[in-house]
Amino acid sequence: MRPLIGICAALERARWSVWDLEAFLLPRMYVDAVQRAGGSAVLLPVDQGWIDDPGELLDRLDGLMLAGGCDLDPASYGAEPDPHTIGVVPERDAFELALTRAAFERDLPYLGICRGMQVMNVAAGGTLIQHLPDSHGHDDHRRVPGSFDGADHDVRLAAGSLAARAAGEELHATKSHHHQGVGEIGAGLEVTGRATLDDLPEAIERADRRFALGVQWHPEADETSRLIAALVAEAAEHAAAVRGG
């Protein structure tokens, strides 16, 4: 059986055909990347039952991926909102924070992408920088809103880290699209990747878990990236162990 990777879906207003409604959404690139790596992807909508009892869901998955998307509600990390923090969806935050904490407890293979890395940090008690142009003085992490054009920059990954092993190299070219970043690092997490352009943390991980990695860039937008394949491979090993081979 192919390993089953749950991917949390965004909750957004969307238009298609004649409809303009709230919808659960996920860019196809995430699913394509999982399938190319030999996994099966299932979209996870916000569900209060899974917030209350994440194990009901996680016990059925072999790996968990958190995708990019809207800003987290600053209330989730005890901060007042910055004027540039917009479009928050507290329902999604509560869902993804609950799943992240439970995945860590179960040692379920986990990959947080962009917003997903930020969720990972907040789930561990960390904070976020709400607008990088104000704190770092440039827009190079999101040069063209809504596009990865011109969004490439390098990240230096710590030797021997999970991030470096998953990427297959210590100097990694990335596709970036974010205006927020991690601030105070959450308990149990280690920064193992930093942007060469300004030293911003761009990879965090938990060394006491088999595969718990957050990256600030978008590997799903880069068909040469090995990161999602690394998650799928670890999920396959986890599935084999749980199923007895």
Asked if 65 contacts 116 with a C-beta cutoff of 8 angstroms, the reply is yes
Q: Is 218 a catalytic residue?
A: yes
Asked if 234 contacts 210 with a C-beta cutoff of 8 angstroms, the reply is yes
Cβ count near 60 (within 10 Å): 10
User: What is the H or E stretch that residue 16 is in?
Assistant: strand 10-16
Any idea what DSSP says for residue 54? T
Q: Out of 96, 202, 205, 220, which one is annotated catalytic?
A: 220
Any idea what DSSP says for residue 39? -
How far is it, in rounded angstroms, from Cα 234 to Cα 64? 11
Q: Which of 125, 118, 115, 128 is nearest to 220 (CA)?
A: 115
Task: State phi, psi for 27 to the nearest 5 degrees.
Answer: -60, 140
Q: Out of 114, 141, 178, 205, which one is annotated catalytic?
A: 114
Q: Is 114 a catalytic residue?
A: yes
Q: Out of 141, 153, 177, 218, which one is annotated catalytic?
A: 218
SS3 9: coil
In sequence order, which residues have a C-beta less than 8 Å from that of residue 60 and are 6 or more positions away?
Answer: 4
* Residues marked as catalytic: 114, 218, 220
